[in-house]
Amino acid sequence: MKNLRELCEVRQSVFDKSRRDVTLDISDLIDDDIDTDQFFAENFITEGMKSLYTAVFKRLEGNSDDGIFKLTQAMGGGKTHSMIAVGLLAKYPEYREKVMGDVYKTSFKGSAKVIGFTGRENPKYGIWGYIAEQLGKKDKFKEYYDPLEAPGQSAWINLLKGEPIVILLDELPPYFQAAQAKQIGDGNLADVTTQALSNLLVAIGKKELSNVSLVISDLSAAYTEGSQMIRQIMDDFESETNRLSKNFTPVQQNTDEIYHILRKRLFSNEFDEKEVEEIADAYAEAIREAKQMDISTETPEKFKSAVMDSFPFHPAIRDLYARFKENQGFMQTRGLIRLMRTIAARMFDENDGWAEQRYLIAPDDIDLNNPDTLTEINSINSKLNNAISKDIADHGKALAEQLDSKFGHNLSSRTANLILMSSLATVQNAVRGLADSEIIRNLCGPDTDISKIKTEVLEELKTNSWYLHMDNTGKFLYKNVQNVVAKLNDYVKGYNEESIRQEIKKQLEELFQPQLKDCYQNVYVLPSIDEIEVVQQKVSLIVYRPHPGGQLHPDLQKLYDDNQYQNRMLFLTGDSHSMRSIFDNAANLKAAGAILEEFRREKMPSGDPQFVEAEKLLQSFDHRFRSSVRETFVKLFYPTKNGLMNANFQMQFQGNNYNGEEQIKKTLEEKRKFTTDISSDSFVRQAESKLFIDQKTPWSEIIKRSATRPDWPWHKPDALEQLKEEMIRKDHWRQEGNWVLKGPFPAPPTGVNIKQIARDDDTGEATLKITPLHGDTVYFEIDSKATEASLELDTSQPYKTKELKLSFLCVDSTGEHDTGEPVEWHNSITLKYQFFGAGNDKKLELKAAPDAPIKYTTDGSDPLNHCGIYDGPITILDNVKYVLAIAEKKGIQSDKLSIPVPTDPSSVEIDKEKETTWRKRVKSDSTADTFKWLKSIRKHNVKLSEIHISVNGQHWVSLDFDERLILNHDKLEKTLEFIQTNLLEEGEVIIDAGKLHFDSGQQFIDYVEEEKIEYKAGEIEQR
């Protein structure tokens, strides 16, 4: 496949700078200063030209009434060129067949008089005098020169009638705008000229001037006021002659004509269709590969067709040219020809061109280090010089050039050039920039590794360019303002080494901060040695700057060797070569975060492209920072019985998530330094062999040895406490104060478990459940110690007694367990009272159960010290407010009662301030009743004792509580929840309680009033 140098014959005019800078105008035609052969050799006849040729020569033949032809296009759009072409053909008959024979075979054989005017001229006697002078009839208009007046229709007819004439009026708008400043009478030169030309056009519409053709051009959108005057002239002509001027567009900018024009202007040869197709196929194949890689959406067949049409130019040239062709002052077709001549001159330079490396002339083939190319770019948009020199081209110093050197290919410069060409538009609402898929499409081609654009080039350009931006649609474009990257670099320059180190510390602390704290509890990141505090209770992870050779830093080794808590240190370090990368990325990460904070303070919308770009930079540098951390910290040093050992540590990121604690734990688990197995027999054996000094060891020493022995595994901090509790519960260990004893232990002696399951407060009779412990026979004795000579008790049945003191002895008939000490049980004494009237006397009756002597006082003194002995109902004097009473027998006392004396003996007086116990058995009837009652006791803060809970259904659960246990509503509810959740889901839930406890008499009163329950004086105890 041939390259451009082999296929193209470049015209010498391309290399001739003087020719490149020359712009022909109508005056060159009038002065015969045009090389006609060369002009037509480089001329491509557009559709607009074909129409113009036909119309003018039909007029010259006398076969058309149309004599006014207007060319409309922006500046530099081919109007002047078309006028010159038609003027040369009218002037020189010998060129007509060769040039326009395939367009229109005219019957006009003679030579026409060609006269013209360009709006860049400023003739003394106005346009009409200038035309008359070219015709050699200057004197015919002398009466219109001083003062300047507009010739009328008749004057124009007399001047122009006779020989064939072609009048060319070019670039009139700038002339009109300048003429407005020249005063003539009450008006100005523009007004007079407008009248003169209106008269001329109307005159040409007359039969007498059928020999005259007039071609006039307009600079649409360039000179508003001047163009308006031309439209006024045309309107006058059309209204007076009832004819329309014919409009022509010399070059259709949105068609392939632009490629044909460029081919004619730049190259002297035609191209072989098969050779062109071979190149088009190669580009189509490159597009197909890009499509398969899912980095382009272009259709190969469509792209091939576009290359066939545009060759030797890349199809993207027309699209990018269309973006900036409307720029103020840009000469459209003329400007594009100048630009492409400059590009071609560099590409095909014999010494350092690159045409032999290309198959198409592409938008990225601009050499911005070449002064001529840079001048052409500046003529299109002069505001991007800083972007060019900093980011694109500056003799090897710009970013794109540096990336070319880094990657070993020129895709960075080509990409930057392409984006620049898409960024040149300056008019409002113009399309600017390219999406990544468009960049790839336009750089696709033979011998181009397109995959690197997205993976290498765009990422680097986006991250490091100063003037490259992304708009809110994701398109890349250069602007004349610095981007977030430039701002980021300014931030980075302001950071010193210490501030960056602090940023690294912050980031690494976030990566390795423990949450579960089961493996390690403290983190030190890049500390000085004296900052590290190793304590007995916690394992410390020390992330330290790597030492050359990947070995542990000597200072850390010394710290380990000199410390008694060697099993409380873990070191993460690694490759010192990558540390610089961590510092660089940390600085960028810190800067990106600072920029986002700045934007937030400025209340910049989160959808602003700058804000979005800053967020992307933050994500990018976060990823890079983590990558450099992963490549740097690759060694984990942990204590063993043979000293510090190292393990390879590979950080694994899950997207943007990283759990350093989990990965360190996993690594240490693989090395058996960390364990979650804290209840197995193996763990118990390790603890007993490594942490116990002897059968009996202080618990503090066991904890200390776990911190000092490097061969002890790490585990969650409370694992040893949990182990101790479990082992003591199973009686494998025992605790005596701060000492822990490890088994095996001698068989325990016998004992007795005594459970009071019921008691009648009226009689004092208790019902006991007696259970032998480590034995099978129980003996009992009343009021003295039980022996094997005492009575034997049938433990299969509850035992009922009114005795105050009992002793029980358990014996193991097998002899396996020694006989333990007898176990004593004491009954309680219940003291009740009742007031009644006897005539005019107020009487108090006291009763103890079981029967026991009762002592009392009525003056508030302690009945144990100063008392009367109760031997029958007491007469209460009027001045007695309280009676204090207590029963005592065999060293067992009842509760001391403080009995308020009621005014009415039949009523019950309640002290609202004193704690109150209500001796009344209350029982719920159903599950609903139970939870309603619980709600009530929660409200009044009631506590219960002598409790029995049962759940009755197809199966049943029964739960008795020690009568001394007092439970509040929370504990009761949790107990019920446990039973229903874990034991029995269905069944009626019943609670039975013998006593209700209140913090005050007022709470008791509130409760019974709400529950509507009656109470008696003997049921109430207050103290």
Q: Does residue 797 belong to any structural domain of this protein? A: yes
pTM of the model: 0.55
pLDDT at res. 221: 45
**Given 3-state DSSP classes, what are the helix, strand and coil percentages for the chain, each rounded to the nearest 5?**
45, 20, 35
Strands 113-118 and 165-170: parallel
Terminal alpha carbon distance of the chain = 114
**pLDDT on residue 149:** 93
User: What CA dihedral angle connects 389, 393, 395 and 396, to 10 degrees?
Assistant: 110
> In this structure, are 264 and 205 located in the same domain?
no
How confident is the model at residue 225, as a pLDDT? Answer: 62
- Say if 659 falls within a structural domain: no
Q: Give which of 391, 381, 389 is closest to 416, Cα–Cα.
A: 391
Do residues 470 and 359 both lie within one domain?
A: yes
User: Are residues 820 and 836 located together in one domain of the fold?
Assistant: no
Phi then psi for residue 448, to 5 deg, are -115, 120
980 shares a domain with 880: no
The residues, ordered by sequence, that sit 6+ positions from 1010 with a Cβ below 8 Å of its Cβ are 936, 940
Q: What is the pLDDT of residue 315?
A: 94
Q: What is the CATH number of the domain that holds 797?
A: 2.60.40
Backbone dihedral angles phi then psi of residue 806, each to the nearest 5 degrees: -130, 150
> What is d(CA 759, CA 247) in angstroms, rounded to the nearest whole number?
123
Backbone angles phi, psi at 944, to 5 degrees: -120, 155
The domain boundary residue, chosen from 806, 826, 846: 826
The verdict on 95 and 237 lying in the same domain is yes
Q: Is residue 509 part of a domain?
A: yes
- Give the whole-angstrom CA distance, residue 20 versus residue 341: 7
Whether residue 835 sits in one domain with residue 822: no
Separation of CA 971 from chain center: 47
Q: Return the beta strands (E) in 461-558 as ranges.
A: 468-470, 476-478, 522-525, 540-543
Whether residues 214 and 284 fall in one domain = no
In a domain, residue 206? The reply is yes
Phi, psi angles (nearest 5°) of residue 176: -60, -45
Whose CA is closest to 663, among 643, 637, 636?
Answer: 636
Q: How far, in Å, are 367, 945, 962, 970 from residue 933 at the CA level?
A: 93, 15, 21, 13
Question: Which domain CATH number covers 1001?
Answer: 3.30.1340
- Structure tokens that stand for 295 in this block: 């980095």
Looking up tokens 């992870």 gives 541
Write a three-state SS string for 265-305.
Answer: HHECCCCCHHHHHHHHHHHHHHHHHHHHCCCCCCCHHHHHH
- The amino acid at residue 267 is F
- C-alpha 156/C-alpha 165 separation (Å) is 13
Q: What is the CATH number of the domain that holds 88?
A: 3.40.50.300
Cβ partners under 8 Å of residue 776, min gap 6:
811, 812, 813, 814
Residue pair 956/950 in contact (Cβ under 8 Å)? The answer is yes
Residue ranges of the chain whose pLDDT lies below 70: 18-22, 73-77, 219-227, 230, 233-234, 236-245, 253-254, 655-656, 906
Look up residue 345 and give its amino acid: A
Q: What is the pLDDT of residue 1018?
A: 76
Give the residue numbers spanning the domain of 959: 916-1022
Are 923 and 837 part of one and the same domain? no
CA distance 768 to 828: 13
Nearest to 804 by CA among 784, 786, 777, 822: 784
Please check whether residue 547 is in contact with residue 576, taking contact to mean a CB–CB distance below 8 angstroms.
yes
Domain count, the chain: 7
Q: Do 241 and 131 share a structural domain? A: yes
CATH number of 732's domain: 1.10.10
- Residue 17 lies inside a defined structural domain of this protein: no
H/E segment holding residue 239: helix 224-241
Residues 462 and 497 in one domain: no
324 and 267 share one domain: yes
Q: How far apart are CA 79 and CA 55, in angstroms?
A: 15
Domain boundary among 595, 622, 645: 645
Point out the domain boundary residue: 779, 797, 826. 826
- Is 907 domain-assigned? no
Q: Does residue 92 sit within a domain? A: yes
Query: Does residue 666 form part of some domain?
Result: no
Question: Both 224 and 269 in a single domain?
Answer: no
The per-residue pLDDT for 7 is 95
